[in-house]
Amino acid sequence: MVIHGSGGHFMAGGDIGVFQERIDDIHRTVVDITHDFHGAIVSMRRMPKPIIASVEGAAAGAGFSLAMACDMVIAGASSFYTLAYTRIGASPDGSGTYFLPRIVGMKKAMELTYLADRFNAEEAKRLGLINFVVPDDALQAETEKLAARLASGPTLAYAKAKELLNASLGNSLETQLEAEAQGIAACSLTEDFRNGTAAFLAKQKPTFEGR
């Protein structure tokens, strides 16, 4: 699955104009918006398919949070990032405070959250927030290439790996090791595992079919 924006930006954050229009009933508005948004984030993390964020232009506020919630991020060289929330007197939503300290560490997360400074794609890559930086005019082609590579891979193994990686954030070592044992045992029963191991021994490229 690929998530991308339209109109030259990934996502510039919430509609501040709507917030101001509804300022007299803003609490209910924000609760409703975040409830729907957060439901989507949970669905993304539970989805067995890999999710790629393809970022051009701004990934700001909720857009920054959304990108962090994706499995991988590929970005155009001129893309830029800011958590932005404190600039309007708000705290983050959309999983920003969950993923950010896990990716960059607590002190850096505090800095990016409090100061809400804007930074570029190379800095985002250095911090581990994105995986690949490509020329702006190559973003679509490189995104399609990455998506095709994942789609032709062992998708059942990807699903199990995603489940394990997500669970690791809250598991003890012993619990995680048991989950890994069960996961690889489940993968060993798939046709992809049979094809993959046979191809490896034959020094051939495997063909995976997602079953």
Global pTM reads 0.90
> Residue-wise pLDDT tens for the chain (211 aa)?
999 998 899 998 777 777 778 888 888 888 888 899 999 999 999 999 999 999 999 999 999 999 999 999 999 999 999 999 999 899 999 999 999 999 999 999 999 999 999 999 999 999 999 999 999 999 999 999 999 999 999 999 999 999 999 999 899 999 999 999 999 999 999 999 999 999 999 999 999 999 9
The per-residue pLDDT for 28 is: 87
Residues noted as catalytic: 38, 93
The per-residue pLDDT for 165 is: 96
The per-residue pLDDT for 14 is: 72
The per-residue pLDDT for 7 is: 83
Q: Phi and psi dihedrals of 7, rounded to 5?
A: 75, 20
Of 52, 46, 44, 10, residue with least CA distance to 153: 52
DSSP annotation string for 76-96: ETT-EEE--GGGGT----TTH
CA distance 185 to 87: 49
The per-residue pLDDT for 126 is: 97
The per-residue pLDDT for 22 is: 81
**Residue 41 in tokens:** 């984030």
Q: Which domains does the chain have, with CATH numbers?
A: 2-151 (3.90.226.10), 155-201 (1.10.12)
The per-residue pLDDT for 80 is: 97
Would you tell me how many other CB atoms lie within 10 Å of the CB of residue 29?
15
CA distance 90 to 193: 48
Q: 95 to each of 44, 142, 158, how far by Cα in Å? A: 11, 27, 22
**Residue 111 in tokens:** 């800095």
